[in-house]
Structure 1
Amino acid sequence: MARARRIVPRMLAPSRILRTTPAQAGGGRSREALVERAREAIEEGSRSFHAASLLFDRPAREKAWLLYAWCRRCDDLADGQDHGRPAEGPAPEGRAGAERRLRAIRLLTERAFEGLPTADPAFDAFGLVARESGLTREMAEDVIMGFELDATGWRPRTEADLARYCYHVAGAVGVMMAVVMGVARDDGETLDRACDLGIAFQLANIARDIGEDDAAERCYLPVDWLVEQDIEPGQHMKPHHRRELAAMAAQLVERMERHEAAARLGAARLPFRRRWAVLAAARIYGAIGREVRARGTAAWDRRVAIGRREKARHIAAAFWEAVKNRPPRPDPMPEWTRGSILIDVRMAGPVAKPPMDPLPDES
């Protein structure tokens, strides 16, 4: 009589043979697919950046798109938006919701650095460009701190606070973009000038968007400036304060021009096509700031925009500027420097936030 075989139940996937997800740049997505999604993101999110990026050689252009996609997605997640516009669905849940969104940004960014899939093409794109270009976690955290400032309702009290904000939301992006374009991480002088360009962009944005920011209950004019102009809290957009508002916008644009001029010194060190693209972007954003100043008290009656023909003129002018490649050194150089801002950041410590109720257990 044959012996009956004893059937022993087996685990379908015993723990000793479970395999971890293999780490690979881009989280396993194809580079072509990530680049295409990134191109769509920049085309929809920023026409000015998209126009300038087309001047890059293909390798730099694609890396710039990949980095932009991450920046755009982080900004949208932090603010509960979609390409800078209110997202469909329920409104963000106050401070607790902001904390969750920032936590998600940091976790997804860390997974991207590790080469693990994130289920989000923008973060996978960042993992790819970080691996290709040598971007660091410290660089990414400097940018994420800018999203944190916005998401937690922070506002500047002093010019030093404004400098810190402009560094995190734009200057630090300029540093990353320079590294993406091939600038060595130890080339401090060129990275400083890239930071200047980002700060110039942000100062132009702040001057242009004072009205829109007020409608969203935000204000990036330092409290000290408003006090000097004898403007009551939350009243800077009132018609009887337009003259004072125009004066403060002119202050922003004056600083913008100094940083813009300093940035040209760094652009001079780049290969021709990359230099051309940077100079074109500088001219386009500089034109935004100068138009705000030129309109004076009417600057916020309608949004300042640079049309296609004017962009084309700036791109053509940037071409000849790139050919000549002899930018004058501004005198004086910008008061805000990357080094001094970073010292202030370290002294200031973590972002100051109002007390929060503890997050509920998510387990």
Structure 2
Amino acid sequence: MARAMRAHEPTLRTAYAACRRINAHYGRSYFLATRLLPARRRPAVHALYAFARLADEIVDAPGPDPSGALGELEICLKDALAGEPTPHPVLPALADTVRRYDLDPGLFTDFLASMRMDLTVTDYATLDDVAVYTHGSAGVIGLMMLPILGTVGPRAEAAPYARGLGEAFQATNFLRDVAEDLARGRVYLPADHLAAFGVDRERLLHAVRTGRTDRAIRRAIAHLVAHTRALYRAAEPGIDLLDPVARPCVETASRLYGGILDEIAAADYDVLAGRAVVPPARRLAVALPGAARCLAARVRTREPARGA
């Protein structure tokens, strides 16, 4: 761990190491893109990812009392942010990241509010309804990332784009994970957009049961893929507002996640037959040019290229 992250503190060092392992294990594309950041900035990104992942696990693989577990996590987070000791494996790193980059604690409140929605909300009638969820589940993550990535101008100018890119990532997840979410009793795709193609929850469930995705479902998914591509395009101008050494990381993350949409299209929009993933060869083909741009940016700005 770089000295900037107080590596001499064993508890903090252990917490950051745990965050890195969680990111590497669960977020392959995200972790690969993060490797393009200067080493001293990576631990903070790992901390944000690990916290979000652990909260997500509480609601996606619930135990006997997921609401209580989420509440306990929130209490532990408040204690950690207040400087109180916590036995939680990742919260010391998260609290250090919040202090180091002066992150708004209210963003974590919004995030946990969306996580609580997963315990009670199973359908979304409109895109506006979905947007309420994605603001907290993904938009605020983009806003948390901004101080870590850095900007070339006022942060407020980059904020809408950062929030939008986070929501584009989330919309991609919704399309990739339709079958998994159905198994958990949830449909994140807006009901009104599905209905325009004659699709509803029962039609999706029937397709899963029979293993046959019909034309109406494919057309609905194709429509939502097009909508999600538009979200990426709308967020793209924000990349130029970032610190030059951070741009290759975000460009690569955007291309890797956008590649999931390409895989969905290549499967003729059959998202129920299996999870669309970007093949390792394509991930590497995207990451290598990003690494070259990253190195060039570091040379121009004299940003250290190495670290733990």
**1:71 deviation in Å?**
1.1
- Number of aligned residues: 287
> Which structure is higher in helix share?
2
Q: For 1:249 and 1:298, how far apart are their aligned partners in 2?
A: 8
Q: For 2:10 and 2:80, how far apart are their aligned partners in 1?
A: 12
**Correspondence for 1:231:** 199
Cα contact 2:177–2:271 (8 A) shared by 1: no
Instruction: Please give the residue correspondences for 1:43-122 in structure 2 after superposition, counting only pairs within 5 Å.
Output: 43-79=24-60, 81=61, 92-93=63-64, 97-122=65-90
- The secondary structure found in structure 2 opposite 1:277 is helix
Q: For 2:179 and 2:246, how far apart are their aligned partners in 1?
A: 34
Is 1:288 the equivalent of 2:260? yes
Distance 1:155 1:185, change over 3 A: farther
**1:312 deviation in Å?**
1.2
**1:69 deviation in Å?**
1.4
**1:287 deviation in Å?**
0.6
Distance 1:37 1:184, change over 3 A: farther
Q: For 1:321 and 1:254, how far apart are their aligned partners in 2?
A: 28
Q: Deviations over 1:211-240 (max 9, x none)?
A: 111122111112222333333543324347
- The secondary structure found in structure 2 opposite 1:272 is coil
Q: For 1:173 and 1:185, how far apart are their aligned partners in 2?
A: 20
Counterpart AA for 1:242: D
Q: For 2:169 and 2:32, how far apart are their aligned partners in 1?
A: 15
Counterpart AA for 1:304: A
**Farther off after superposition, 262-271 or 138-147:** 262-271
Cα contact 1:279–1:322 (8 A) shared by 2: no
Counterpart AA for 2:140: A
- The secondary structure found in structure 1 opposite 2:272 is coil
Cα contact 1:49–1:281 (8 A) shared by 2: yes
Of the three residues 271, 283, 286, the one matched with 1:314 is 286
**Correspondence for 1:332:** none
**1:286 deviation in Å?**
0.1
Identity of paired residues, percent?
25
Counterpart AA for 2:242: L
**1:318 deviation in Å?**
4.0
**Correspondence for 1:139:** 107
**1:194 deviation in Å?**
0.8
Cα contact 2:139–2:164 (8 A) shared by 1: yes
Distance 1:322 1:116, change over 3 A: same
Q: For 1:114 and 1:185, how far apart are their aligned partners in 2?
A: 30
**Correspondence for 1:32:** 13
TM-score w.r.t. length of structure 1: 0.72
**Correspondence for 1:41:** 22
Q: Deviations over 1:263-293 (max 9, x none)?
A: 2222112233311011000000001012212
- The secondary structure found in structure 2 opposite 1:220 is coil
**1:173 deviation in Å?**
0.8
**1:205 deviation in Å?**
0.8
Counterpart AA for 1:253: V
Cα contact 1:167–1:199 (8 A) shared by 2: yes
| Larger relative contact order (Cα-Cα within 8 Å, sequence gap ≥ 6) | 2
TM-score w.r.t. length of structure 2: 0.84
**Correspondence for 1:263:** 235
**Correspondence for 2:166:** 198
Q: For 2:240 and 2:24, how far apart are their aligned partners in 1?
A: 27
Cα contact 1:268–1:275 (8 A) shared by 2: yes
Q: For 1:70 and 1:292, how far apart are their aligned partners in 2?
A: 28
Q: Which runs of 5+ in 2 are unaligned?
A: 1-5, 298-308
| Pair member with larger Rg | 1
**Correspondence for 1:126:** 94
**1:183 deviation in Å?**
4.4
Distance 1:29 1:243, change over 3 A: farther
**Correspondence for 1:341:** none
Aligned Cα root-mean-square deviation (Å): 2.7
**Farther off after superposition, 107-116 or 267-276:** 267-276
Q: For 1:29 and 1:139, how far apart are their aligned partners in 2?
A: 28
